[in-house]
Structures are given as structure tokens and as C-alpha cells.
Amino acid sequence: MPIQVPPSLKAEHDELHAELKQATGSGGRTGAAASDVARLMHPHFVSEEEFALPPLGLLPELSKGKLGDEIADVLKLTDKLERELPRMLAEHKEIVAGLKRLVDAAKTEGMPDIAAFAEKLTAHAQAEEEVSYPAAILIGRYLRSVSGSKADE
């Protein structure tokens, strides 16, 4: 079981990045607001893909009761996520505030596609907070309980 971001989540991140890059070139207040969101979002996505999302790639195998040899590596990731979660959630608040400014600018400047994209990205952040982050943390707790590993081993 390799530890990697599930391909569907990686593809979604790549698509969101591409759409945001396109929005940054729209000019005016919309382009400026999109650039601000990109500045906030890039390091956040890097963190997500480094330690928050890779544990989710184990879900299919774990749901079948299969444990691999990489438990210690996964626990390092999930422990880091638990430590970094307050920062990650604070970054989401900043990103969502930037996305609200982007929605307002795009609507004002008659760019409904960009406004819809910003609303989609806001929903993406909410899904991470409600599903992805908690699921990754639960994976770590599950692996620790079935393997008998202690924190920071």
C-alpha cells in the first residue's frame, strides 16, 4: 500500500489550481482577488499533499482489513496533521475570506464563471474540514489501535 494522495483528490487539486491560474489572468479586481487567493492557497495545497491527504489513499485497502508495512510512516503523517490542524483550519478561513472577495469582484465585473469557481473552491475547503481531515486523523488513530504503536514512534 503506497502512501499517496488518492488520484481523484490529486486531480481535483490540479484542476482547482488550473482554474485559479486562469482566473488570475482575468484582470481588474477579479484578477487581483484571484491572485490573492492563489498566494494563500498554494502553500496550503502543498501541506495538504505532503501530509493531510496521503493517508486517505490507504482507505480502500484498510476497508478490506489489509494493513501494510508503512504504518509508522502513515502515523508520522497523521500525527503531523493533528499537530498542524489548527494552522490548516486558520488558513482555510483566510482562503475562504479571499474567495468571498473573489466572488464579489467576479459578480461585480460580470464574470459568473469565476464566481461559480470560487464558490466551488469554498465548498472544497468545507469538504476537507468535514471529511478529509477527520478521515485522515481517524486512519492514524485506527492504525495506532490495531498496531499497538505509540505516538511519535
- Cβ atoms of 145 and 66 within 8 Å: the answer is no
Instruction: Categorize the per-residue pLDDT at 149 as very low, low, confident or very high, splitting at 50, 70 and 90.
Output: low
- Give the residue with greater pLDDT, 99 vs 68: 99
Residue 105 has pLDDT above 50, yes or no: yes
Quote the number of domains for the chain: 1
Residue 151 lies in a domain: no
Give residue 65's pLDDT. 86
Please state the pTM of the whole predicted model.
0.91
Calculate the alpha carbon distances from 43 to 14, 20, 87 in Å. Answer: 14, 14, 12
Write the pLDDT tens digit of every residue in 87-96. Answer: 999 999 999 9
Residue 61 lies in a domain: yes
Residue 152 has pLDDT above 70, yes or no: no
Residue 126 lies in a domain: yes
Write the pLDDT tens digit of every residue in 4-35. Answer: 999 999 999 999 999 999 999 999 999 999 99
CA proximity to 151, closest of 103, 82, 104: 82
Write the pLDDT tens digit of every residue in 30-87. Answer: 999 999 999 999 999 999 999 999 999 999 999 998 888 889 999 999 999 999 999 9
Instruction: Categorize the per-residue pLDDT at 147 as very low, low, confident or very high, splitting at 50, 70 and 90.
Output: confident
* 105: containing domain: 7-146
> Which distant-in-sequence residues (6+ apart) come within 8 Å of 104 by Cβ?
33
Residue 152 lies in a domain: no
Instruction: Categorize the per-residue pLDDT at 2 as very low, low, confident or very high, splitting at 50, 70 and 90.
Output: low
Q: Average pLDDT of 124-128?
A: 96
**All cell numbers assigned to 8:** 481523484
